[in-house]
Structure 1
Amino acid sequence: MLGKYHHFPPTHDSFTDAPSKDFYETIIIGGGGGGYHGGFQLSDSKKSAILIDDKGNLGGNCLYEGCIPSKAVYLTIYLLEKTKKIAALNGPVNISLVQDIWEKAIEHKDWVQSIRYQQHIREIFEHENLEFVKAIAKPIKCCEVEVQSLDGSWKKTVKGKYMLLATGSVPVKPPIKGSELTIGSEELFGYNTDYRKLKKSYVIIGGGYIGVEAASAISRLSTDITILEMLPNIMNGWDEDAVEEIKSTLKENNVNIKTNAKVTSIEKDGNQKTVYYVDESGETKSITADEVIMAVGRSPYVEEINNLGVVENRKIVVDSHMRTKIPNIYAAGDVIGKYMLFHSAVKESTVAAWNIIAERPLYEVNFRSIPITVFTEPEVASVGVTPAEAIKLGIPHEVVSYHLEDDAYAQIMKMRKGWVKIVVEKETQRIIGGLIVGEAASLIINEIALAVSVNARVKDIGLLAHQHPTIFESIDRAAVNCCKI
């Protein structure tokens, strides 16, 4: 719990008061998806809970600087560019200046964040068994926490029967000389950010999903971008075919990708910044740009909870019930170091709360059915076992696919790149995974995730009439191609 932000989100005066009680059935630390969804479940079941968060509102990093604002910016730019692309069928169209598009995207992001923060304040008051406190939480031992106001005006110790730890994650800060000259997600997408003018050129350090998403969005506004990735390829761990599709589109948008590039230092010269790196041959090279974005990932935030005995290798270790090795302590969200995704945190938090309510480990999270999407153009999404993983695991399987160039919706949206791949276990014909590259992959993947979760057969999908013309027909076509009568 850091208590330091460029701009604090909206809050309510009552949230800054000290806890009203000494004992709560559950103490929740962290107001992101891993915390407040569990808190709502506990409150709805008449279980008293206190939720402590230093931002003074719910949503965690996802709403403050992560998935919500970044996707609001991404979709604003995407829709404007999509309109230009479709309209340009009969000649070039000039919709607006690049700077105007960026500023409108930031304004839209601000609006979305604002209405969601106001919504969360309302939701807190709607859950009468949940007390929310804007403060810093410092665990003393299992189920005992010191709660302190941000300004130090009060301090109080509260006790409980259970704890739910959801302290989230923080950006990784590599030991690079001059790293303080870079900006990150808080500057780009943070609530009420001061960073509202687009630069002409960027260097992005890190070719994971955060860096690639930033490059994909900004490059569509005709900026000069270079990605520096220290590994042999960008998007490490993703399907090679999917990565090649993304690289192809990035290069079409004039994004320069340099892999096997280890950044050593960053220097500022006037209004520009120079990044020095060592390439695969061992030669030191440099790139100068107007701005440098640090996007090398995030790590679980465990600084205030190390004394509880549940942290191993800088993360909290949990079982599928979301329980730590201390039975009365549960954890959810980025701090467990599994899927650093809001929707994963929500399910983890919900399952933890259900098990606290049941007073025994009854419910489990099916991590295999959690979908992952990289919001680039085209989008890339995955769930369950990928084709490459099936081979590695020795699972007898078949991969059925359908190319989106023949899909009606993809044609309407003028985005015919990509494909749908469904991984099917040969013996049972169960769907065990899926991989999608293309228009609305973030939407399509949810149906495959449901199929993985409920052990659906490929024929179950093939028998479902998918609405026409929607992108979901692509799953139908792939499934029908696999069905054996």
Structure 2
Amino acid sequence: MAENYDVIIIGSGPGGYVTAVRAAQLGLKTAIVEREHLGGICLNWGCIPTKALLRSAEIKHYAENGKDYGLTIDGKISADVDAVVDRSRKVSQRLNGGVGFLMKKNKIDVIWGEAKLSKPGEVVVSEPSKKAMQPQPPMPKNTKGAGTYKAKHIIVATGARPRVLPGIEPDGEKIWTYFEAMVPKTMPKSLVVMGSGAIGMEFASFYRTMGADVTVVELMPQILPVEDAEVSKFAKRQFEKQGIQFKLEAKVAKVEKTKDGITAHVETKDGKVEKISAEKLISAVGVQGNIENLGLESLGVKTDRGCVVVDSYGRTNVEGIYAIGDVAGPPMLAHKAEHEGVICIEKIAGVPGVHALDTGLIPGCTYCHPQVASVGLTEAKAKDAGRDIRVGRYQFAANGKAIALGEDQGFVKTIFDKKTGELLGAHMIGAEVTELIQGFVVAMNLETTEEELMHTVFPHPTLSEMMKESVLDAYGRTLNA
């Protein structure tokens, strides 16, 4: 006989496990189905382990430039690839085990296997066909296996996987996705990165700092295509100073495998083809939702371009079936998935005052060197929307803390509605901006105006002072530049 739940969540990534925890807090009998690893891609193969790798690269960078801080470090600084990767994997395993603890603490059943919706309100779970990509920690006692399970509400949170271009399929050896790029057996001396979004630039930054020759190929006219044009232009200059080469408005039309690696045939917008040889190629051309083999089509659930179609509360067109996170469409970010899941389950539970997700207030962060962070409208998009705007900028080079840190390259840019003082967007590039952006996110959520930001006291000396100075600059009142 099928076991009954109030909610079954398919997928235990950030969206799935956070939704499960919130469901349990609301008193709902909850189960989560997972086929590979608790924590999903983010904890195991994405957000977290890449940051561990980038931290190793950052430490290497500072060690190599110790003289800039009055330090003498004898001997050559070299990277032990095995140790760097091992540290990254241990960070992931620690958090992976933490998700198991959260399931046990909140009395959430973990159903191990592959889920398929046989009909509304019913999930059939079979043994996993794909071997987990890393050993599992001891599972909670409340772990179940294959079988049939029922729930009034079923939430699909199956995430996404790397997008594959025809003819340039990853082979795990010479053509990598982010999976292979995170666990190199040896450090490549050269590589081509296909795509300059967050994933592409983070790996380009990591491998360049580790000593590889890196060429980035981007189809669009600017790197980091979703970012403000000024930020992208500045980032490109900084990366070029580090030795990264760029081919813009170009595409990898063909990849030949050679004895020593690959040869990428890079075609520019004018039809010319340049051949670039390297040991490896990293395909970072985006991700696509995991919607296959779930039974969605047979139940009539609408999908569009590889994602499940949902409303502002995660509801699909079929009653009792929901979708959140990457599988529900862009922006494909872990923090979006978490918030989306909380909104979805609170709506299901009848929590009063649940607000629909405003995707315009979701921050984006890229953890390269220099870091990039943004929220809201770019200057171009604000103008395209017909807004009469004020723009403020403040340079890292004028900030005391940035100079003391030896990180004086970067800027903060703010965009306001000229009539109302509404903060429309904020864009940053430089040291630790991924930690600073939340200040503007909070401000925008509270519908803060320029006047309130000007009257806010920022601590000195901090990088955060640049945020206020950028606001002041938009109104011709900057005090320290």
TM-score (norm 1): 0.89
Contact 1:302 1:315 in 2 (8 A): yes
Ranges in structure 2 where 5+ consecutive residues have no aligned partner: 131-143
Aligned to 1:398: 390
User: 1:273-312, aligned counterparts within 5 Å?
Assistant: 273-305=262-294, 306-307=296-297, 308=299, 309-312=301-304
Aligned to 1:322: 314
For residues 179 and 113 of structure 1, what CA distance do their matches in structure 2 show? 23
Aligned to 2:241: 252
Match of 2:179 among 169, 183, 186: 186
Aligned to 1:38: 19
Aligned to 2:152: 161
Which residue identity does 2:264 align to in structure 1?
V
Q: Quick check: 1:140 aligned with 2:131? A: no
Contact 1:231 1:260 in 2 (8 A): yes
Give 1:482 shift: 4.7
Aligned to 1:51: 32
Match of 1:410 among 402, 421, 429: 402
Instruction: Give a deviation string over 1:200-250, Cα, whole Å, max 9, x none.
Output: 111112222211111112111221111122333322232211111111122
Contact 1:467 1:473 in 2 (8 A): yes
Distance 1:43 1:438, change over 3 A: same
Which residue identity does 2:117 align to in structure 1?
P
Give 1:354 shift: 0.8
For residues 364 and 41 of structure 2, what CA distance do their matches in structure 1 show? 18
Distance 1:104 1:252, change over 3 A: farther
For residues 473 and 99 of structure 1, what CA distance do their matches in structure 2 show? 35
Aligned to 1:339: 331
Aligned to 2:4: 23
Give 1:481 shift: 4.0
For residues 95 and 238 of structure 1, what CA distance do their matches in structure 2 show? 39
Match of 1:213 among 177, 186, 202: 202
Contact 2:112 2:146 in 1 (8 A): no
Distance 1:429 1:86, change over 3 A: farther
For residues 481 and 243 of structure 1, what CA distance do their matches in structure 2 show? 21
User: 1:11-160, aligned counterparts within 5 Å?
Assistant: 22-57=3-38, 59-90=39-70, 93=73, 96-100=76-80, 102-128=81-107, 130-150=108-128, 155-160=146-151
For residues 32 and 54 of structure 1, what CA distance do their matches in structure 2 show? 11
Instruction: Give a deviation string over 1:97-142, Cα, whole Å, max 9, x none.
Output: 3333x444323212211211121121111011x2111210011222
Contact 1:400 1:423 in 2 (8 A): yes
Aligned to 1:358: 350
Distance 1:188 1:178, change over 3 A: closer
Q: Quick check: 1:230 aligned with 2:208? A: no
Aligned to 2:141: none
For residues 316 and 292 of structure 1, what CA distance do their matches in structure 2 show? 30
Distance 1:91 1:34, change over 3 A: closer
For residues 227 and 462 of structure 1, what CA distance do their matches in structure 2 show? 40
Which residue identity does 2:302 align to in structure 1?
V
Distance 1:366 1:402, change over 3 A: same
For residues 146 and 407 of structure 2, what CA distance do their matches in structure 1 show? 56
Give 1:453 shift: 0.9
For residues 286 and 51 of structure 1, what CA distance do their matches in structure 2 show? 48
Aligned residues: 459
Aligned to 1:17: none
For residues 30 and 177 of structure 2, what CA distance do their matches in structure 1 show? 34
TM-score (norm 2): 0.89
Contact 2:170 2:177 in 1 (8 A): no
Which residue identity does 2:31 align to in structure 1?
I
Give 1:94 shift: 5.4
Which residue identity does 2:164 align to in structure 1?
K
Distance 1:67 1:245, change over 3 A: same
Which residue identity does 1:184 align to in structure 2?
T
Contact 1:206 1:295 in 2 (8 A): yes
Contact 2:17 2:99 in 1 (8 A): no
Question: What RMSD in Å do the two structures reach over aligned CA positions?
Answer: 2.4
| Identity rate, percent | 25
Give 1:269 shift: 2.4
Instruction: Give a deviation string over 1:394-423, Cα, whole Å, max 9, x none.
Output: 112211221111112211221111111111
